[in-house]
Structure 1
Amino acid sequence: MPVMKSLDAATLPIDARLPDILASLEPSSRVLLVAEPGAGKTTRVPLALLKAPWSRGGKWLLLEPRRVAARLAAGFMAETIGESVGQTVGLRMRGETRVGQDTRLEVITQGVLTRLLQDDPMLEGVAGVIFDEFHERSLEADLGLALALDAQAGLREDLRLLVMSATLDVESLLAVMGRQTPVIDCPGRSYPVTTHYRALNQREDVVRQQASAVLESLENDVGDALVILPGVVEIRRLARELAPRAPGLALLELHGRLPLEAQRRALCPDVEGRRRVVLATAIAESSVTVEGVRIVIDAGRERVPVFQPRTGMTRLETRQVNRASADQRRGRAGRQGPGTCLRLWSEEQPLIPHGEPEIRQADLAPLAFELARWGISDPAQLRWVTPPPEASLSAARDLLQRLGLLDAAFHLTALGRAATRWPTHPRLAAMLERAAELDARPLACALVAMLEGRDMDAERDLAQALSLRLADARAYRQWHGEARRLAAIARCGLEVNSLDPLGELLALAYPERIAQRHDERSPGRFRLAGGGLATLPESHPLAHAELIVAAELDGQASGARIFRAVALEVSRLERLYPESREWRTQLAWSDEQGRLVGEQVRGLGAVVLASKPLQALPTEAVRRALLDALRRRGALPFDHQAEQLRGRVALLRREEGEAWPDWSAQHLLGSLATWLGPHLEGVTRLEDVLRLPLGRLLHDSLDWPLRSRLDALAPERLAVPSGSQIRLDYTPCLEDKPPVLAVKLQEVFGWHESPRIVSGRVPVLLHLLSPARRPLQVTGDLASFWANGYPQVRKEMRGRYPKHPWPEDPLVAEATARTKRRG
């Protein structure tokens, strides 16, 4: 191991924990490291692991969530030991590999691990894998850990796994890694940060207020400023506002769409010595340190992609930042000295504790494809920190089957196996593989490189954008490098003779986005093959086209806006999808006609190329059509009784396990055919379906042993000391909250403790009410309320309700449901 240079002589908090980490990894193959920001875990721990005796036979992989963080970590560690990247410390990410025969530590981005495991499940020559910044819970990190644990359990018992971050959900990780897994804590090294709040007036120009906040912070505090905004659009708006108001400042952007050199400039002090304002996305939230920053201005918003299984589209949502992320952002101001954080929201603004794991809100098509490649048809065979949601996984598998990549048993088809060579989304992998049918591989490589690129802001016309790149590769170096990489995999050049197959190529990748003009009178309105309407401006050149393929939509469930599209000829659609030439029975609920409409059609999905009347409605087809109509509604019409029943069963499933059914709304929508389908005999109208007693149907679907235990474990009513039988509210149990008993305070005199159900395991949350049935106290600990809360309630209520009993000792008083004392 090369000797460390003097520049790394400063002691960091993690140094004191390195012996514990090494000692724990010797007997144990799994370790959790919770190290606060500034501890030095990312650059100190991997180098220390290389010195361990049990590491000398193999290399370590360090996973970083972002490319810029991976490059910085690799560069810093290489410099620390007096080398350049590619020697002892290497770097591997999509489109960039800098490793050599002496490389013992590879810094990789998270998707690389999945590819390495798929290519070699044994991970030959790898001593261990480090998952850095795991708290970000990216889809690739969750999948990588699940596959690594599976490989470790079945093939490589000696493979060591280290999961580390500043904030980890230790309990959830121990559940999948094993309760015996050592957990090592390490404090960070940070300076005090003073936090201020400044809520913006939403009725006034928000950007102007943000700019004023930045300039005032620079005037009042020392150091450079880091401004964290939700996206690139917001960054550029604020930059335009700041530029004329502060000409002496160095305004820099920091986000994932920038070239590497621009990212590096944003992280380092200004060469001219000017004060800097770095306008960044959440890329600056963790993993990287922006030199010289002592001021953080947090806009308090984050932009997250949310996949909608019902529409098959991903929509970007801008949300209030969660508390963990806000604290991470605040910490950026105290990395190199005392700092200041200005939060552009009110101090009273509530924040949720943590963000959602990406696996709960992402497009799961890549994950479903990787599971099939791993040979897994049931995701429950793997250990997940957060299991993939059933509805999203089902939608992903439906897409992969439509693309021809999976068969009915969720195994890879011949096309699916061939598509594994492409390091891209399964949609685009299917397009690249099938492009040979159109003699259009070079065009497909160029198109995929552009669709996955980050330099398409200005262009809206897909064909024009592609022509520009093909005509001047130097002006689009990033695109050209990616296109050449794909062409190398395809073993073809990049000579494109014609753009004619463009529509067909997109139709191969986005079959559900093939769209048909809605009618002659509505130019720009299109019916998508996957269902729903999408629009183009009436002035758009494609507004009158018969068929188009939408390459980019805004993700709205209905009335989606089409941003980029290409025309498609009917004959070419029929050639790509021969099933579009076959007649099929189609039934759908017509809102206009108020009934089921049936006809014989041929086409693709909701795109109808021809139709003819249907004489009779087949019973099974009617049933399927009604169930489809319910699914499209996205919500079932549960009445109060049904919601209470679902809550009771949800509570029992949580307490007793999978013996009780999953009656979550999402699962019930996905299994309509099983529990509701048999009850649709003779039903032809959707309104009749909506009137069915869903609660009774669900209750009747329970096995008799469960039905007999339901009332005993989760009774509908509880007897209270006054003698009343009060109905419990179980709807909070649908959100993993306790059941609620709303009862007048006087009726529970004599109860020493909160009541419990489910054989005494689950305490009931009491909503104690005044004589006017208004809330006085919410408590899950009645004994504590009598001792601490009741005296104050008694003092306040005696004057307001003098004719009602308010005894000094409620534990010995007679409970009563009467509104007045006995005379």
Structure 2
Amino acid sequence: MIDLDAIGSGLPVAGHARELRDALAGRRMVVQAPPGTGKTTFVPPLVASTVPGRVVVTQPRRIAARAAARRLAALTGTRAGEYAAHTVRGESTLTPGTRVEFVTTGVLIQRLLRDPELAGVDAVILDEVHERHLDADLAVAMVCELAELRDDLTVAAMSATLDAAMWAGLLGAGSTGDGEPAPVVEVGSVLHPLEIRWAPAAGSATDARGVRRAFIDHVVAQTVQAFWDTGGGALVFMPGAREVDAVVAGLKGLPELAGTDVMALYGRMDSHSQDAALRPTEKPRIVVATSVAESSLTVPGVRLVIDSGLSREPRLDRGRQMTGLVTVRESKASATQRAGRAARLGPGVAVRCLRHEDWAGMDAESPPEAEHADLVGPLLTLACWGSPRGQGMRLPGALPPDRVAGAEEELRGLGALDADGRVTPRGREFSQIPADPRLARALLDSGEIGSRAAAEVVAMLASDERAPDGDLVALLRTLRSGRHPGSRGWRRQARRLEGLVPHVPGRRTTADAQVGTVVALAHPGWIARSRGGRGDGGGGYLLVSGTGADLPRGSALAGQEWLAVAETSRVAGHGSGAVIRAAVPIDEGLARAAAAGLETTEDRAVWRSGRIAGRRVHRLGAVTLTSTPVKPSRAASRSAVVAALREEGMGIDGHGVFTWSRNALELRRRLGLLHRVLGDPWPGMDEETLASRAEEWLGPELDALARGRGAGGASMTTALRRLLPWPAAVRIDELVPEAVVVPTGSHIRLEYPEVGSDLAPVLAVKLQECFGWTDGPTVCDGRVKVVLHLLSPARRPLAVTDDLASFWVNAYPGVRAENRGRYIKHPWPEDPLTASPQRGTKRSGR
């Protein structure tokens, strides 16, 4: 008999036992309780006391599932599996007598796909749903659908943040969406006084390469100082495993910390080391952890928290279609949860390594993983569940439509989905393998190297183990030797995977070939070729997907012509922006075999150096294998010319396909004014419009270029006239004349404004040629006045006006007084309205 009072002793959530039982009467419940209140420890056995079958409790991380099961086993005085068990990838303590089983959300999803009724399970508790991991979102929706079919199934969701109302609505909505929300049990935080200190570092915490060494040293210094000021255990939060190890290394061996245990805690550590960090101890202790210790784990004895203020989260680079871990500023919710860890046992201190004023600019919550995660695996899960794209399911948030389309396209390329998004028999095969669909494809299709070798490589790639210097072959050899700390778990998972596929003996191959085959088949779009080709010693590569990527400086892989890439990351300010973190050299034959569906040969016409050139291009995706000269087809050539017009421009500004004469530019400006003032049927003259109508007015010129002629002989004036509307075209010289006749009889050219300008045409004319002229010229049927630039005999500007009558009366006297002594040979009559206009001097009389 399990003693719930003993399990709940000292746990704030235990004080709500009656409320929890009442809520469970309706078989739906949401528990809102902050970290440290004991919900993961107390609620599962309480639920188990109300149902006859097994209770499955999801956790976001393997480390959390293991820790929760071991703690509950310890509190109940039972061995692993007798009452509480855990099941994570490749590891399980489950027995037929287990009453409470802690699993990762991925394990629950796999079970639901194999057994949609969850036979033998009478309750599902979805823990830490506030973290909004994509697997957890899918699990919530799938369990809600199952609960509609199974009236006897109890479903509970537990959240550490103030979002309980949303989860209550999802759990209680019913199939029609109009059900009553599930009851919410709120457990208050029992916090002792908490002091917040702000300790910003000098300079930025990160640079283009990641977290700066100076910032890590700052965290070490703050930890040492605060540790002795406060007493008790310390919990230091860093964004990733590399930074955790760096802080641990900086703290160990310091004379100030003699006798203090300094320990690391992150997801990919072996279970023994994780257990050591979570086990209570009498010695002073500093635990340096990633976000795993934020909400789903409880580190005992903590009275001090040092918060770096940083978090490592996946982000999708939409341009490169790569998801990579990026170091970002934590959210306010994360900072609050981290700080709260210091005040569970008594008064605590939280030191935040950022400025107080930074707080206002921090996000309230971390974004849901669905906004930036790789959707290939989740979409296959939804299709196997019978709900392509999650349509009709109660997902906590909609999946981004643009990325759904991209992921479905990739799944269709793998043969996992049909054109309507429904799962295919091959997709069903993938779903039975507990790995990413791409790795599942590689496991099934790597028959040449044998099923055992393929399973070993897939197990390695699916694990949390990191290749030294990105060398995957070296990692595989170390795992096979048994010297690697993760060798035992890796071999167990490899055997499991091997048992899921038909046995294929394979031929003897090298480790390089084995790793290369699996990686290339799993990620054909990430096969990469050196940008310099053979013998290039640089680190720049072009992926088959079209993305550029670089090797880290000093990489042993530099100089390899072809690579099969397994892992990349985004690094701002680093060359292409993408860095190859794990890869293996391959040859061109393997590259082409693995990405056979992406290999194409096409004849292309390209615009180069002012002429059309034809090339027969043999490509592997975006990677050009060969390119040889050919005579392009007329249609392809013509299309290339039109594309060049859009990309390089029409040549109006002097740079582009065609050369425009002065007359052509002037005609374009005249037509542009007509379109601006009179509108249709006069055509628009902006470059975008001209390019879009190129087939209408540039037909002969396009044909000539398509036949291989140069653009230099094309008359753009003749071409533009093809756009003139008939019969209105006959009035063009009347509406927008090239020149105006002034009183002396001179024909003076008008300067029309640039297309897109709102200015008027300009007539630059000597002042003396305008004597007696009171009504200045107009264009566009009198709608636009021409602006006169009245010039001196030396053709220097004297005045600007579009109202000559006013100018002669008001401005001319001043102009005359200022210039008659300067230009004494030229007439400056007192009455310009009665004087005769003259082109030359007084003596010439002209």
TM-score in terms of structure 2 length: 0.68
Tell me, yes or no, if structure 1 residue 480 matches structure 2 residue 480.
no
CA contact (8 A) 2:467 2:475 kept: no
Deviations 1:478-499 (A, max 9, x none): 3222222222333659998322
CA contact (8 A) 2:80 2:93 kept: yes
Aligned residue among 96, 105, 122 for 2:100:
105
Matches within 5 A, 1:755-774: none
> Residue 626 of structure 2 corresponds to which residue in structure 1?
610
> Residue 383 of structure 1 corresponds to which residue in structure 2?
394
Tell me, yes or no, if structure 1 residue 358 matches structure 2 residue 369.
yes
C-alpha displacement at 1:190, in angstroms?
A: 2.8
> Residue 94 of structure 1 corresponds to which residue in structure 2?
89
Tell me, yes or no, if structure 1 residue 40 matches structure 2 residue 44.
no
| Residues 357/212 of structure 1: CA separation in 2 closer, same or farther (3 Å cut) | same
Aligned residue among 341, 346, 349 for 2:355:
346
> Residue 126 of structure 1 corresponds to which residue in structure 2?
121
CA contact (8 A) 1:130 1:161 kept: yes
CA contact (8 A) 2:600 2:621 kept: no
Aligned residue among 122, 131, 137 for 1:136:
131
Deviations 1:13-38 (A, max 9, x none): 322322222222323x4322212333
CA contact (8 A) 2:449 2:509 kept: no
Matches within 5 A, 1:9-408: 10-27=9-26, 29-52=27-50, 55-56=51-52, 58-153=53-148, 155-177=149-171, 178=173, 179-202=180-203, 205-245=214-254, 246-248=256-258, 249-270=260-281, 273-349=282-358, 350=360, 351-408=362-419
Residues in 1 aligned to 2:183 and 2:695: alpha-carbon distance in whole angstroms: 59
What's the secondary structure of 1:83's corresponding residue? coil
Higher deviation after alignment, 531-540 or 442-451: 531-540
| Residues 543/39 of structure 1: CA separation in 2 closer, same or farther (3 Å cut) | closer
> Residue 532 of structure 2 corresponds to which residue in structure 1?
519
CA contact (8 A) 2:234 2:303 kept: yes
| Residues 158/680 of structure 1: CA separation in 2 closer, same or farther (3 Å cut) | farther
| Residues 149/286 of structure 1: CA separation in 2 closer, same or farther (3 Å cut) | same
Aligned residue among 447, 460, 464 for 2:470:
460
The letter of the residue matching 2:232 is G
> Residue 508 of structure 1 corresponds to which residue in structure 2?
521
| Residues 617/262 of structure 1: CA separation in 2 closer, same or farther (3 Å cut) | farther
Residues in 2 aligned to 1:597 and 1:397: alpha-carbon distance in whole angstroms: 37
C-alpha displacement at 1:219, in angstroms?
A: 1.9
Higher deviation after alignment, 62-71 or 356-365: 62-71
C-alpha displacement at 1:596, in angstroms?
A: 11
Residues in 2 aligned to 1:213 and 1:418: alpha-carbon distance in whole angstroms: 52
CA contact (8 A) 1:231 1:281 kept: yes
Aligned residue among 577, 582, 587 for 1:569:
587
- Flag structure 2 segments of 5+ consecutive residues without an equivalent: 174-179, 205-212, 648-687, 699-846
C-alpha displacement at 1:166, in angstroms?
A: 1.9
What's the secondary structure of 1:418's corresponding residue? helix
CA contact (8 A) 2:599 2:621 kept: no
Deviations 1:687-746 (A, max 9, x none): xxxxxxxxxxxxxxxxxxxxxxxxxxxxxxxxxxxxxxxxxxxxxxxxxxxxxxxxxxxx
CA contact (8 A) 2:472 2:515 kept: no
> Residue 529 of structure 1 corresponds to which residue in structure 2?
544
C-alpha displacement at 1:599, in angstroms?
A: 5.1
Tell me, yes or no, if structure 1 residue 553 matches structure 2 residue 565.
no
CA contact (8 A) 2:564 2:583 kept: yes
| Residues 523/226 of structure 1: CA separation in 2 closer, same or farther (3 Å cut) | same
| Residues 621/159 of structure 1: CA separation in 2 closer, same or farther (3 Å cut) | farther
| Residues 577/215 of structure 1: CA separation in 2 closer, same or farther (3 Å cut) | closer
Deviations 1:330-367 (A, max 9, x none): 11111222211111112221221111011111111111
CA contact (8 A) 1:39 1:186 kept: yes
C-alpha displacement at 1:137, in angstroms?
A: 0.8
C-alpha displacement at 1:207, in angstroms?
A: 2.6
Residues in 2 aligned to 1:103 and 1:214: alpha-carbon distance in whole angstroms: 42
Matches within 5 A, 1:768-807: none
CA contact (8 A) 1:405 1:430 kept: no
What's the secondary structure of 1:417's corresponding residue? helix
Residues in 2 aligned to 1:624 and 1:465: alpha-carbon distance in whole angstroms: 52
CA contact (8 A) 2:642 2:694 kept: no
C-alpha displacement at 1:73, in angstroms?
A: 1.5
Residues in 2 aligned to 1:412 and 1:337: alpha-carbon distance in whole angstroms: 54
CA contact (8 A) 1:197 1:342 kept: yes
Residues in 2 aligned to 1:496 and 1:605: alpha-carbon distance in whole angstroms: 29
Identity of aligned residues (%): 31
Residues in 1 aligned to 2:692 and 2:144: alpha-carbon distance in whole angstroms: 45
The letter of the residue matching 1:326 is A
Residues in 1 aligned to 2:351 and 2:216: alpha-carbon distance in whole angstroms: 15
| Residues 166/603 of structure 1: CA separation in 2 closer, same or farther (3 Å cut) | same
Residues in 1 aligned to 2:377 and 2:431: alpha-carbon distance in whole angstroms: 11
C-alpha displacement at 1:502, in angstroms?
A: 3.2
| Residues 235/13 of structure 1: CA separation in 2 closer, same or farther (3 Å cut) | closer
Deviations 1:258-310 (A, max 9, x none): 1111111112244xx43211111111111222111111111111110112344
RMSD across aligned positions (CA): 3.4
| Residues 417/618 of structure 1: CA separation in 2 closer, same or farther (3 Å cut) | farther
CA contact (8 A) 2:127 2:158 kept: yes
Matches within 5 A, 1:661-740: none
Residues in 2 aligned to 1:508 and 1:192: alpha-carbon distance in whole angstroms: 56
Aligned residue among 437, 442, 455 for 2:452:
442
The letter of the residue matching 1:386 is G
CA contact (8 A) 1:602 1:611 kept: yes
| Residues 130/517 of structure 1: CA separation in 2 closer, same or farther (3 Å cut) | same
The letter of the residue matching 1:552 is E
Residues in 1 aligned to 2:640 and 2:194: alpha-carbon distance in whole angstroms: 64
Residues in 1 aligned to 2:462 and 2:251: alpha-carbon distance in whole angstroms: 31
What's the secondary structure of 2:581's corresponding residue? strand
Residues in 2 aligned to 1:460 and 1:403: alpha-carbon distance in whole angstroms: 26
- Flag structure 1 segments of 5+ consecutive residues without an equivalent: 630-675, 686-823
The letter of the residue matching 2:37 is A
Residues in 2 aligned to 1:596 and 1:364: alpha-carbon distance in whole angstroms: 42
**For the pair shown, which has the larger CA radius of gyration, 1 or 2?**
2
CA contact (8 A) 1:300 1:344 kept: yes
Higher deviation after alignment, 304-313 or 65-74: 304-313
| Residues 243/580 of structure 1: CA separation in 2 closer, same or farther (3 Å cut) | closer
CA contact (8 A) 1:91 1:99 kept: yes
Higher deviation after alignment, 238-247 or 59-68: 238-247
> Residue 658 of structure 2 corresponds to which residue in structure 1?
none
The letter of the residue matching 2:229 is N
| Residues 328/461 of structure 1: CA separation in 2 closer, same or farther (3 Å cut) | same
